[in-house]
Structure 1
């Protein structure tokens, strides 16, 4: 690890949590340079919904490169982009009754949220955006303004933009937070400027696995229409089937004006797509741009994975089945240690167990790593152990990983 410690910036993060040199990966398994095997319950922070190096995507990319096809295309028309767009429209948008335009932003999720907020402000002619408590939308300046964690809100860290915060579903206990939001909008003395848009994650991954209910999302969508605010859903981490259906908001029956996709949409390659309701596609040519907004290898991989996993609803059913297995394992720990007053929560295959003991979740993650399991923590105080598995994870590997996690959790709990 000497080369990394001596020459890589102090900004490095995950390398500190998982201090080994990784070399190979397939499916839900990682191997370091000494051959040690790890079960992956991290999935690239939601980038690897289909696992590491899925065969179809790998083979298609190799052939694409061997044939010397277009690797860098900016936003020119290419066969790779054409085939991806055709597949996405036919197998993702049309079956759901959506007619979104596709904008390929720079290849990171944060660039996609920046584009969404920029476009919303332009369309409505208003500066303010409403985000929610415990939100996370990326690390560039505009996205940081819409991120709730105190660690990212210091004035020396980034300039805060025109963003106001409202309480997420459940943030105030049993209080209806949509009613709170409504009161702020109605009362001209509230200090809330009428927003151009509202941006949210339906499940707050980095914020602690906070889940918005179907009813809450429906009320929010109706409120946006009533007060002429655009609805932006950041589906970067919990879209692409993570909650079961392709989009995390499908179950609620709402239709956002703008949808941010990245992470798993590229099949492990950098790629981001902003879905835009045609009525709000007000861009002028080149108005939001980027050198790498057309990643051909991502187009190639994404087409293959959509064809394989989204031609029917079998993956959605698999997510629901595996979700129950994982919830049962976490509930087992909750019942085993009632004194810890844990909270198990999540949807689909984004799950977490909250343990409000300082440093507990970090110790569980570190112990799991030593045992051969990769999993991270989340929440404003890193008090939630977050379990992200590949949606197509093999049952035996899933159960092996859950046993390793339970062993780690028990070991830390019994050491208190």
Structure 2
């Protein structure tokens, strides 16, 4: 198990280029199974979860060749179904939350699929019912072996159908969508997720010959086709990393420019950070955050306390709730953080409290942050990263703190952030990987 040793209190200055979007990558990589022709993907992030998924695809028989930095060509013309019966497949797929999205392409192209119960962050209940109910409405039949946590699905009788998504799930929508594009007839997905990453998947599939309309809305209509073809696709920059860098600049009082942000795709993310008093300037497609000695949390029109909560797109993404919370620690004012989706995501606040933050954990979903207004700094401690987003929130806290902090279990951070220590050290941080 690796750790970060962080010397806090340093001002950072310079430019950061966000990596390719992790959440988009997991969907796009699964989609290469939908065609036997070559698919070229640009801006793939070099992170643990994505690398593991690419390795899993190779084990399945997908040919992968590197064409440049973050650019790969995939060819799924000889997928081995014998591999899905192996213990190795079960073990590797179980380590990845994103592996469940292999089922949709398997069903669409091959009419059958198998997958173990996936892993991922331990941030609360993450049921897969939405995925399987969608498959069932297409006519698939599935069985679940509770003894070895293995799902088997028969999609040989699938037909286009009307599907109401009981949960606005990004991965659930992506999975059902990928099954539907090669399913005979018309499929309508209502209450669909419409995050930019899902829009990217739709655009890629349409470029491969799929017929998807309603992209960007919560109502998708899919006319099934018999075959998809090769394509070339470039992924968005990671909006979660962009938000993390905005919070990092504010907490450390640093001047940072985030390059090539695709600002129109960020939705309300910049404005949500502005509500905490963080200044930023859009320079073309770059975001410049000046060094601020203080930043003040807005109140509502009647003077009551601001609430920041997560919601399906175009609402505020739940993956940045941890970053908003840690950024508020040194603001002036008070904010209520309401994490609606996952009931375990705020439990990392006990570590921030140990560092000197004034936070009241009201219940598993809500925390009140009383800003310190830089009247005193956090203090360095030893802590453990419980999940990807909390891990980076703790890293931001440590970089702003007095003294030395150690963060254990940084494999969680590496799952979602590419060479984060090297990139931050390049603009003045002091992070040692132990």
Quick check: TM above 0.5? no
Bigger fraction of residues in strand: 2
Q: Under a length normalisation based on structure 1, what TM-score does the superposition of the two structures give?
A: 0.28
